[in-house]
Amino acid sequence: MSLELVIRALISGILMGAIYGVLGMGFSMVYGIVNLPNFAHGAFAMWGMYSLFILAKHTGIGPYPGFIFVLLVFFLSGLLIYKYMFKYILDIEHEMQIVFCLGLMIIFSNLAIIFFGPTSHLLNVDWLEKIIRFRGIALKMATIVGAGASVLFVIFIHLFFAKTETGKAIKACANNRKGALLTGLNVEKMYAIAIGISVVCSGIAGLALAPLIPIHAGVGFDYAILACLIAVLGGAGSMGGALVAGFITGLLLSFQQILYDLSLAICILYGIMLVILMFRPTGLFGAR
Amino acid sequence: MNKRDIFSYKLIIGIFTLILFLIFPFFVGDYLTQVIVFAFITSYLCGAWNIAGGYGGLFSFGHAAFIGVGAYTTTILLLYYGIPGWIGMLLGGLLSACLGWLLSWTICRFRIKGFYFAIGSMLVAEILMAIVVRTRYLGRGMGITFPAINKPFNFQFIGIMPYYYLALIFVCLIILIAYSIERSRLGWYLRATRQSEEASSALGINVTRMKVVSMTLSAFLTGVGGGIYVLALRFCSPYDVFGIMFSVTLMLGTLFGGRATVFGPIVGTFMLTAVKEGLTFTAEATGGVSSFALVLVVWGIILCLVAKYLSKGIVPWVTDKLLKISPLKDKTELM
Amino acid sequence: MNLLEINSVTKTFGGLVAVNRMDLVIEEGKIYGLIGPNGAGKTTLFNIISGFYKPESGDIFFAGENVTHLSSDQLCHRGLVRTFQIPKMFPEMSVIDNVLIGALSRTKKVGLARSEAEEIIHFLGMEAKKDTLAGSLRVHELKRLEMAKALATKPKLFLLDETMAGLNAVEQNQMIDLLKKVHDSGVTLFVVEHVMHVVANLCEHIVVMNYGEKIAEGRPQEVLNNEKVVKVYLGEED
């Protein structure tokens, strides 16, 4: 194992980690603020990928200028999903919530199959395929762009929750729902915004991943599980934890990939997660 | 209407239905018979899930793990070593039971609940799938096809009819098992545990033991079911038997029909099968949309609706409505 | 032989010592009371005795057997059962089914258990509500159900945690009669109570706890006039 390989795995792991972190953060956000295990989270990543694909293939616009529009659509979708769906399942049993979200996941995945067909597509945008060479380490441009976008968004989220009134209000709702209601906060609006943001998280992860992996409808399910796992590892409900967990996952997968292929890497990841689930289900930073 | 009238009323309906099912294959074509065979097998599997998920309150999202273990045990033993299918099924069931025992013991020991159990159970199935996909000996992702030969002792038959009657036996079996559990002390204890673990403990119920027993029994039955499934299908593929959609099918059928009821899983499965066949027929007739995906979209919608509005299931809903119009006061009399 | 013997039992939660080297002896056939201000450790002691908590140190002997590390279901089989301050029942089962669960601890046959349950329902005068769902009962009915369920397990020692809480004067008197009836049928009672006249009326032997320790014990007249006990309760209304 050469040093070059190790450094490559390290960098690749960190970059991918940023993307996984954003994905996991979205899930943690919903679980922490609204107390809903949104198993359909990965579906939006899938839609993100398909959106980019459509933008690249069918419109004249290059993929990345268009993505702002896509993210806006995602945000609005999140608001609508809260207003017309999630709002009504907040009070049912936890297991039924998971069942509901699983149902959503199935609907989304199969709608994707209906619209896009069951085969995989590959996104091929020239400038994203360029290989950047940096001191002998070769990286795809797409990875850097994707990671960069994720990091930017994470910073944006952090600032949003820490500095803006709305963001702080949402955090208040998370900590104490009744208290928030009593102080006149519009909890419904807060929840809706939180879900909107989480959908955008998922979408960004999808947009970032689109140039890197084959796009097919089953991807949604895979990323749904991954998002759950990352969130659980970091402590379901802790956004910062999810970010850290994302990096750990990225590094784990990346290092395993240099030893063997991705499917085994994922299998081992699942195994590790299972063990963690047994001994420390609250994850690294979680309290739920 | 007194108790004795209800009893004979139900018995007559039961026998009538049974006779109907017995002569059914002689009047319809092969396709429909095959649909019913797999509806029977799936009903059986739903019933098996119901023992852990319904009666036991252990809502597993990864029961496909047991199906897969049973399926592969049966397949490997039969096709590689010539061991008869029915032995393979039983051994598959035993292996699944061991896995189930391990799983439930772990859950109790580490107090894994709700969401974490759901993910964990899913992971077990996914990990097993990934292992099979990578293992040449187990046929990898392509799966293992069964030769179409006739060896009744092995449970290998050409044609669908023998499997029809086998599957019917399985359904009757799971009905009997569910029925006797409901009436036994185990059934009462499981009911109590579902409603309040602390109150149960205080009254002498070993909650851990209840969970382990229900999961292990469920795993055994599911494993055996996995065996008959691949025998009837003559094909064993990891994406099928270990897949999340199989786990979802078991969950959906039982939830829709009615958790913790005897007939719920069966009613649920048959209704969903009807929906599926109807949709497939219309989709192919109007020519266009991939019927497979469409069915799943509809199932997804049903899943969502059931989760929110009908979480008790169809059978209890119907039973409640019947109770309101009948002179009976006591629910247990209807059972 | 003493029915229950507690030797130097200590229970801590983090830094807090909830029960501190508690010694206690309960003889068969009597009615014992446990009193003390809020936070004295009474319910904690009950939780320890009935197997819901494990003590950090000390032993508990029940009918001569060391039961310190047994769980609550194991204790139930040996004849030690308790009721909860906030009744824990099976909300979606009827009253008689709730009692049935208790009866099933003594027999595997559901039919037999059901007739046992019927007897207990009759004994406690609950026939009227026999088929009502437990979740829709009122407080005093729930308390009665708590007792019925526990009685169905045929206990030797019956721990009752604040049975009078939430009951009005009439209901309290009914409960006292009920408890006496239960005692007469051969069950040893150990009762935690705040209501003084109930304790004085009912109990033959009282133990007083404060800050996790026993500060007095003896016959009601002795204990309730004990200077230390009065001081601890100064300001508490009867």
Torsion sign (Cα): A161, A163, A166, A168: positive
Q: Is A117 helix (H, G, I), strand (E, B) or coil?
A: coil
Of A106, A113, A277, the CB nearest to B303: A106
Task: Give the residue among B219, B213, B220, B210 at the shortest CA–CA distance from B190.
Answer: B210
- The residue-averaged pLDDT of A216-234 equals 84
Query: B185 and C93: CB-CB below 8 Å?
Result: no
Q: How far apart are CA B230 and CA B219, in angstroms?
A: 17
Torsion sign (Cα): B67, B73, B75, B78: negative
Query: A103 and B300: CB-CB below 8 Å?
Result: yes
Do A and C touch, 3+ Cβ pairs within 8 Å? The answer is no
Task: Give the residue among A103, A226, A43 at the shortest CA–CA distance from B249.
Answer: A103
Q: Are A38 and A30 in contact (CB under 8 A)?
A: yes
Q: Is B323 helix (H, G, I), strand (E, B) or coil?
A: helix
Q: Are C55 and C10 in contact (CB under 8 A)?
A: yes
A276: closest CA of chain B, how far (Å): 10
Distance of CA C175 to the CA centre of its chain: 13
Tokens representing C23? 């010694």
End-to-end CA distance of chain B: 14
Query: Where in A127-274 does DSSP place strands (E)?
Result: 131-134, 137-140
Output the pLDDT for position A135. 66
Where helices occur in chain B by DSSP H, the ranges are 3-23, 30-50, 64-81, 85-109, 114-134, 161-183, 185-195, 197-202, 207-233, 238-241, 244-257, 264-285, 291-309, 314-325, 331-334
Q: Which CA distances in Å does C21 have to A147, A198, C39, C71?
A: 60, 53, 16, 21
Res. C189 pLDDT band, cuts 50 70 90: very high
Pairing of strands C31-35, C188-192: parallel
Least confident of A197-211, B168-182, C85-99: A197-211
Tokens representing B49? 């899930």
User: Which residue did the predictor score with more confidence, B329 or A107?
Assistant: A107
Where helices occur in A34-93 by DSSP H, the ranges are 41-58, 63-84
Q: Is A139 left (phi over 0), alpha (psi -120 to 50) or beta?
A: beta
Look up the CATH number of domain A3-279. Answer: 1.10.3470
Q: How far apart are CA C237 and CA C226, in angstroms?
A: 17
Q: Is A255 helix (H, G, I), strand (E, B) or coil?
A: helix
Share the mean pLDDT of chain C: 87
Mutating which of A102, A225, A262, A269 best tests the B interface, going by the most B Cβ atoms within 10 A?
Answer: A102
Of B192, B329, B330, the CB nearest to C101: B192
Residues ≥6 apart with Cβ < 8 Å to A287: A235, A237, A238
Q: Are C19 and C212 in contact (CB under 8 A)?
A: yes
B185 at C interface, C-beta within 8 A: yes
Of A94, A113, A263, the CB nearest to B293: A113
Q: Are B100 and B216 in contact (CB under 8 A)?
A: yes
Give domain limits for chain B: 32-256
Residues ≥6 apart with Cβ < 8 Å to C67: C51, C60, C61, C74, C75, C78, C80
Compute the count of residue pairs across chains B and C with CB atoms less than 8 Å apart: 76
Q: How far apart are CA A42 and CA B282, in angstroms?
A: 31
The model's pLDDT over C56-82, given as tens digits with 9 standing for 90+, comes to 888 999 988 898 889 999 999 999 999
Q: Are C48 and C9 in contact (CB under 8 A)?
A: yes
Residue C46 has pLDDT above 70, yes or no: yes
Domains and CATH numbers, chain C: 4-87+154-232 (3.40.50.300)
Q: How buried is residue B288: exposed, middle or buried, by Cβ count under 10 Å (0-12/13-18/19+)? A: exposed
Q: How far apart are CA A217 and CA A118, in angstroms?
A: 7
Res. A288 pLDDT band, cuts 50 70 90: very low
Q: Are A103 and B304 in contact (CB under 8 A)?
A: yes
Output the pLDDT for position B5. 61
- The residue-averaged pLDDT of C101-119 equals 91
Residues in chain A: 288
Which parts of chain B sit beneath pLDDT 70?
A: 1-7, 287-290, 326-335
Of A104, A117, A277, the CB nearest to B304: A104
Output the pLDDT for position B326. 66
CB contacts of A95 in chain B (<8 Å) are 59, 114, 118
Amino acid at A19: I
- The residue-averaged pLDDT of A89-118 equals 85
pTM: 0.88
Torsion sign (Cα): B132, B136, B141, B144: negative
Q: Is B4 left (phi over 0), alpha (psi -120 to 50) or beta?
A: alpha
Task: Give the residue among B310, B256, B293, B115 at the shortest CA–CA distance from A108.
Answer: B293
- The residue-averaged pLDDT of A138-152 equals 80
Residues ≥6 apart with Cβ < 8 Å to A109: A43, A46, A217, A218, A220, A221, B296
Query: B189 and C101: CB-CB below 8 Å?
Result: yes
Query: A92 and B302: CB-CB below 8 Å?
Result: no
Query: C110 and B185: CB-CB below 8 Å?
Result: yes
User: Which residue did the predictor score with more confidence, C154 or A176?
Assistant: C154
Q: What is the DSSP letter of C37?
A: S
Output the pLDDT for position B334. 41
B108 at C interface, C-beta within 8 A: no
C107: closest CA of chain B, how far (Å): 9
Instruction: Render the burial of B56-78: b for 16+ CB within 10 Å, e for the rest.
Output: bbbbbbbbbbbbbbbbbbbbbbb
- Taking any CB pair shorter than 8 Å as contact, residues of chain B touching chain A are 59, 61, 106, 110, 112, 114-116, 118-120, 122-124, 126-127, 130-131, 133-134, 244, 248, 251, 255, 289-290, 292-294, 296-297, 299-304, 306-308, 311
Tokens representing A161? 């929750």
Output the pLDDT for position A1. 59
Q: How far apart are CA B77 and CA A55, in angstroms?
A: 51
Give domain limits for chain A: 3-279
Query: A106 and B133: CB-CB below 8 Å?
Result: no
Distance of CA B160 to the CA centre of its chain: 20
B205: closest CA of chain C, how far (Å): 5
Which of B185-191's residues contact partners 24+ apart within 8 Å by CB, and which partners? B185/C104, B185/C108, B185/C109, B185/C110, B185/C113, B186/B210, B186/B213, B187/B55, B188/C97, B188/C100, B188/C101, B188/C104, B188/C110, B189/C101, B189/C104, B190/B55, B190/B56, B190/B57, B190/B214, B191/B55, B191/B260, B191/C90, B191/C93
Amino acid at A140: K
Query: B116 and A271: CB-CB below 8 Å?
Result: no
Q: Is A183 helix (H, G, I), strand (E, B) or coil?
A: coil
Q: Are C6 and C55 in contact (CB under 8 A)?
A: no
Of A100, A114, A236, the CB nearest to B293: A114
Tokens representing C24? 């206690």
